[in-house]
Amino acid sequence: MIKNNILKLLILAIFPVLISGIIRHDVDKEKYIELAKRAEFQSVGEIWINTYFSGSAVLISDKYVLTAAHNVIESDTRIDTINNNGQIFYANVPINHRVVKSDSLFVRLDNKRLSVDEVIVHPKYLSDIDRGEYDLVLLKLKKPVKNIEPANLSFSTDEINSNVTGVGYGASGVADKEDVSMKMEKLAGQNVVDSIGGLSENGLKIYLFSDFDSPDDPRANKLGSPTPRELEYLSAAGDSGGGLFRENQNNRMELIAINKGTQFDHRQFQKTIHYGQTMRWTRLAPFQEWISKTVCNNI
Host H or E run for residue 207: strand 204-211
- Using alpha carbons, select from 229, 243, 232 the residue that is nearest to residue 154: 243
- Using alpha carbons, select from 174, 122, 172, 149 the residue that is nearest to residue 282: 122
What is the CATH T-level fold of the domain 2-297, as seen in this structure?
Answer: Thrombin, subunit H (2.40.10)
DSSP secondary-structure letter at 132?
Answer: -
142, amino acid identity: K
**How many angstroms separate the Cα of 12 from the Cα of each of 26, 49, 114, 217?**
26, 20, 30, 25
Its pTM stands at 0.89
**How many angstroms separate the Cα of 247 from the Cα of each of 162, 163, 234, 297?**
9, 8, 19, 29
How far, rounded to the nearest angstrom, does the alpha carbon of residue 10 sit from its chain's CA centroid?
Answer: 19
CA distance 217 to 224: 15
Query: Residue ranges per domain, the chain?
Result: 2-297
How far, rounded to the nearest angstrom, does the alpha carbon of residue 19 sit from its chain's CA centroid?
Answer: 11
Q: Which residues pair with 119 in a beta bridge?
A: 139
Q: Is 49 exposed, middle or buried (0-12, 13-18, 19+ CB in 10 A)?
A: middle
> Could you count the other beta carbons within 10 Å of the beta carbon of residue 293?
10
User: Strands 22-23 and 163-174, how do they pair?
Assistant: parallel
Q: How many CA atoms lie within 13 A of 191 on its CB side?
A: 37
Host H or E run for residue 124: helix 123-127
- Per residue of the chain (299 residues), what is the pLDDT tens digit? 344 444 444 434 333 433 448 999 999 999 999 999 999 999 999 999 999 999 999 999 999 999 999 999 988 888 888 776 677 777 777 788 889 999 999 999 999 999 999 999 999 999 999 899 999 999 999 999 999 999 999 999 999 999 999 999 977 899 999 887 777 789 999 999 999 999 999 999 999 999 999 999 988 999 999 999 999 999 866 889 999 999 999 999 999 999 999 888 888 988 999 999 999 999 999 999 999 999 987 65
